Amino acid sequence: MPAVSLSAARAADGSIELALVNLSPKTDVPLAINVVGSKQSHVHGEILTASTMDAHNTFTAPQAVQPTAFSGAKATNGTLTVTLPAKSVVVLRLE
């Protein structure tokens, strides 16, 4: 089973949205993604992860797992570089 999956979409304003998932429970995955036709250089995003693989929200702890800002991605000359932390979902917007 692949450790990383990726989905991409172009928004009406020309920005590109990427959703990246690292299924590995222990290993960070460095990526360099060639975004063909992209001139975007500004990247911002959010990450969903937790300290343990079985972390989850409950009625008594509804904020145990929640999205936070992610600044570990960079876009330069049509190439996006990012290291996906283990057991994470990262959503990036390239503008």
Q: Do residues 54 and 29 touch, judged by C-beta distance below 8 A?
A: no
Q: Check pLDDT > 90 for residue 8.
A: yes
Q: Check pLDDT > 70 for residue 1.
A: no
Predicted structure pTM score: 0.89
Q: Check pLDDT > 80 for residue 20.
A: yes
Work out whether strand 43-48 and strand 29-34 pair parallel, antiparallel, or are unpaired.
Answer: unpaired
CATH numbers and ranges of domains, the chain: 4-94 (2.60.40.1180)
